[in-house]
A and B are shown apart, each in its own frame.
Chain A
Amino acid sequence: MNMSLNRRAILRSAFGVMAAGLPLPVLDLFLDGNGTAFAATGAPLPTRFGTWFWGLGLMPDRWIPAQTGAGYVMPDDLHRLKAFRDKITILSGFNVPLDGASNNPHNTGVTAVRRGLANVADMDLPSFDVAIADRIGRGTRFASIEIACSNDPSVSHSGRSVGAPNPSEVDPVALYNRLFGAGFKDPNGSKFVADTADLLQKSSLSATLEGQRSLMKKIGAEDRARLEQYFTSVRQAEDQLAVQMLPPAPAKACVVPGKPSSREPTTLVSDVVATHKVMVDLMVLGLACNQTKVFNIALTEASSPLRTPDNPTGYHQMTHEEAVDPKLGYQPHCAQIADLTMGAFNDLLTALDGIKEGDGTLLDHSLLFAHTDVSNAKSHDVNGLPIFLVGTASGKVRSGLHIDGRGDPITRAGLTMQQVMGVPVGNWGIKSLEANKAITEILV
């Protein structure tokens, strides 16, 4: 049963009307004996879903474990993630069949993984995280939060359609304001005060929706889809306002952070990783404070501009230009940046795992899907591009495995994520990318 409805019912029955000034202390007694659910309502602790994107893949052969199944030996390129080995499932060998479409460098792989199609000219499909946000994100203030450590908010792989990408927050201050600024209701605050402004705003949004039918009649068929997207956004805003009008659910792990300082955008990998850490720390607290259940992080755009202080050439250029060291068998400078990139991923896992919640950590109560755009950046190969799954989705998923897809379509990963998070979908993807079988090895 839906948690917010339960709380609504309880609060209504206790106070007759929606209460203003209702004190809501957050105590362990709100949790059941197992620490997995709110005792008062029986509703489980929320499970979160997140994606983490990095550009330009990893050095071929340096990230795939020699063994499949559990207990794999952490490969060289992933040594920074060693502490989390048992929580990370590595997917290798899943392919992106192109059905004759051209490989649009740095785009095709992302589109296949996130939208289930190789050729975006075929159809406009939502990214699968949106389907998950629709399923689990409606009861929180934000259906999802997007972040990119770039100065371009359009660096985002999440969206209901290509024409309406979910823009990324690119500045820590803006992210802080979004999560904890105006409109934030502290779940641990001593008093909940229903905000008249929310109520008035809700009727304003309802009025906007009233005009939908007559407006739809007046526009051409081809613009109708875009207008429908707009009205979907209005309805989502309305739903979220409804959430704001109820006392927040208790969230013991919620701590309101201090305001960060703004950071000058650069492409130095050390700066970007540091900015990422600031943003991730804020976002993790946003999750702990139930502001959202879904997040999408892009460390950089696919053609990553990251670089080290000693080298004026960006990572993307380097992947094409740096010679393979004959002794090492790989591009050493590129490997260095890939390594620092995985360090950023480690920062995210550490932050999620650092929040204790009920019987585990926020990481345990999450399902994290990390992916990139290519398997081999030098040649733009998209087959076998790396995907990492982290967390158990509150016990629904087995973790710590290495699974070889043996050439199966990569969409099996996205299908599995949707099914685990409760999206009623039996098959996903188009043409040869259509997947109808989840990755059952990870299902509990």
Chain B
Amino acid sequence: MLDRRGDTRRQRIMMMRYGCWAMVPLALSLMVADSVRGTAAAVAASPVTDIEPTTEGAPPAMRRLTAQQFRNSIAVAFGPDIRISGRLEPDQRVDGLVAVGSSRASISPAGFGQYVAIGQDIAAQVTDKAHRGALIGCQPRDVARFDEACARQVFSSYGMKLFRRPLEREELKTVLRISRDSTARLGDFYGGLRYGLATMLASPNFLFRMERTEPDPARSGSQRLDAYSKAARLSFLLTNAPPDSILLASAKSGALHTREDLNAQANRLMASPQFTDGVRAFFWDLLDFDAFAALTKDANQFPGFNRQVAVDAQEQTLRVIIDQLVEKGGDYRSLFTDRSSFVSRRLGSIYNLPVTAQTGFERQAFSADSGRTGILTDVSFLALHSHPGRSSPTLRGKFVRETFLCQPIPPPPPGIDFSIVEDEHNGLRKTARDRLVAHRTQKTCSGCHKLMDPIGLALEGFDAQGSRRLLENGSPIDTSGDIDGAAFQDAAGLGHVLAQSPRLPSCLATNLYRYGTGRNPAPNEKSWLGYLSKAFVRDDYKFTALMRRIATSNAFYHVAAAAPARSPGTKIAMPAVRKGATQ
């Protein structure tokens, strides 16, 4: 198991290097300066130019398909009719992103067994009587015998789609042999095809995105991604799916290596319906939505919170994101300041809002006195970063710092005792704020808690499932606070302060780049990230402009000529840290 968020080796080293938790502010500022996640902010003062800084990139990647990418790959290759039944290897989250975890993940024996079973089932569907007419583009001369020409056509076509490149001669020979032998044993051409397809579906060339390089004609002695690998990077970034046939054709002809064609392909994909899938996938990853799978709430306190509510809560936020950032081509900061949203009937009961639509979502705007503004007051955020029966200013504040401002918070120190400050029955400390103030007077805790708690306390007007409340244990809730000196009175004010933070755009730019490359930025990419974040601001914080800029940049496709040996231990991430030992 890998850590779920932020708890990086770098942090632990920093903590060791800089000593105790009481010194975290110092460690943190050094970390931020040092951290690639904070690089963009650190260079935010540099002027913007139109010239993209030169980068060397990092070695080519080998990324395991995420569960969603596996599903999308099957849909792109065989159409939406083909069911996927069974469990895929669980995604692994490293440094806050499943995308980064995909570059560390391998396949366990049990997981491989599942891929084999799922692949067999898919291959059986593709070749069954109901689908073969549509999906197998040729007919054998005799259904009981092997027809090499037809099989060759089938495997060449699906090989291209599954491996995201043409099959090599040996690879084609192997699947033809499997198919021929299986046909002979079964007396059925389609049965033979089935085993050939199943072989490809269990192949590392399908399950991993294996990038390939070739000599770069523009840079003597350097390597570049080959056109197919470039196509895959582009396509997975923009659509979270493998390249479609048009993009593959562009890779085949080599046109994709030209600036014009790269721009045209990016524009085409961004105009396609699949682009929303790509944007959703990025925010699903960024917002930690995989954690919903294990989220439960105290049924006594929150009888209305069930699995379906959890599904709707994610959908609500993703709809807002698509509406504002893609449909309206809007400003990323509006996600923290806008009150328009989408609500389902099930969510209506949590938000205490009448919803007319019997099924699905309807557009609604939260009123000014609802206390809600932006995605931080969505159930998806409030409920996910709470305990089953209690809100958590610390978990909420931690997530905002780490995810939207790229300021990693170290894990709590080992020898902590909260019993004095956490006793809810202590008549003097009725609210979370009262308890946390006591907390922050403890020297070892204060360094981090003062970074997290003011943000989380602004959201205390919402309980563990995200419903509005004005009192806690009979006491009024004070939602005022500040971030790094900028004061606010409530959740709406928090959203506006966040929207003004120079870290907000640079952090998103860095995260989107990490998401696209599946790794933390290399030291040589510092100027590039500074440039990217400046450009994002200049582009009026338009998310689509940021996406396009990455997709059509040189930096995104650069690969380091040789793979330097990793420093010891960088492959290792800690076993999962569940939501922290904090309030």
Question: Known contacts A166-B110, A208-B199, A380-B415; is A313 also within 8 Å of B390 by CB?
Answer: yes
Contact residues of B between 195 and 242, Cβ < 8 Å to A: 195, 198-199, 202-205, 207-208, 210, 212
Interchain CB contact under 8 A, A204 and B573: no
CA distance A104 to B62 in the complex (A): 29
Instruction: Pick the residue among A103, A162, A232 that contacts B109 (CB under 8 A).
Output: A232
Interchain CB contact under 8 A, A162 and B2: yes
Interchain CB contact under 8 A, B387 and A303: no
Question: Known contacts A146-B110, A207-B175, A221-B565; is A155 also within 8 Å of B1 by CB?
Answer: yes
Residue A14 CB within 8 A of the other chain: no
Binds B, one of A210-218, A348-356, A412-420: A210-218
Chain B nearest Cβ from A224, distance in angstroms = 9
Interface residues on A, range: 35 or more
Interchain CB contact under 8 A, B571 and A150: no
Binds B, one of A194-202, A397-405, A423-431, A435-443: A194-202
Residue A121 CB within 8 A of the other chain: yes
Interchain CB contact under 8 A, A123 and B109: no
CA distance A101 to B15 in the complex (A): 10
List, in ascending order, chain B residues with CB within 8 A of A314's CB.
Answer: 387-388
Instruction: Pick the residue among A166, A211, A312 that contacts B108 (CB under 8 A).
Output: A166
Interchain CB contact under 8 A, B112 and A237: yes
Residue A320 CB within 8 A of the other chain: yes
Interchain CB contact under 8 A, A159 and B388: no
| B12, B87, B565, B578 pick with most chain A CB within 10 angstroms | B578
CA distance A320 to B579 in the complex (A): 14
Question: Known contacts A123-B572, A380-B415; is A320 also within 8 Å of B581 by CB?
Answer: yes
List, in ascending order, chain B residues with CB within 8 A of A380's CB.
Answer: 414-416, 581
Residue B134 CB within 8 A of the other chain: no
Interchain CB contact under 8 A, B578 and A301: yes
Chain A nearest Cβ from B410, distance in angstroms = 9
The contact string, 1 if C-beta is below 8 Å from chain B, for chain A 136-176, is 00000011111000111111110111111111000000100
Interchain CB contact under 8 A, B419 and A320: yes
Question: Known contacts A155-B1, A196-B186; is A265 also within 8 Å of B296 by CB?
Answer: yes
CA distance A322 to B576 in the complex (A): 24
Residue B300 CB within 8 A of the other chain: yes
A266 and chain B: residue at smallest CB distance: B296
Interface residues on B, range: 35 or more
Chain A nearest Cβ from B167, distance in angstroms = 11
A218 and chain B: residue at smallest CB distance: B212
Residue B470 CB within 8 A of the other chain: no
List, in ascending order, chain B residues with CB within 8 A of A210's CB.
Answer: 174
CA distance A222 to B387 in the complex (A): 39
Residue A233 CB within 8 A of the other chain: yes
Binds A, one of B177-185, B253-261, B482-490: B177-185
CA distance A220 to B212 in the complex (A): 10
List, in ascending order, chain B residues with CB within 8 A of A302's CB.
Answer: 575, 578
Residue B60 CB within 8 A of the other chain: yes
Residue B360 CB within 8 A of the other chain: no
Interchain CB contact under 8 A, B12 and A102: yes
Interchain CB contact under 8 A, A163 and B105: yes
Residue A255 CB within 8 A of the other chain: no
Chain A nearest Cβ from B126, distance in angstroms = 15
CA distance A21 to B464 in the complex (A): 60
CA distance A337 to B565 in the complex (A): 47
Interchain CB contact under 8 A, B108 and A160: yes
Contact residues of A between 255 and 299, Cβ < 8 Å to B: 264-267
13 A/B residue pairs, CB under 8 Å, sorted by A: A105-B412, A124-B571, A142-B110, A151-B293, A163-B104, A167-B87, A167-B89, A204-B198, A211-B171, A233-B111, A236-B112, A379-B414, A380-B581
10 smallest CB-CB distances across A and B, nearest first, come from: A312-B389, A220-B563, A321-B422, A233-B112, A164-B106, A229-B106, A121-B569, A303-B578, A223-B62, A103-B414
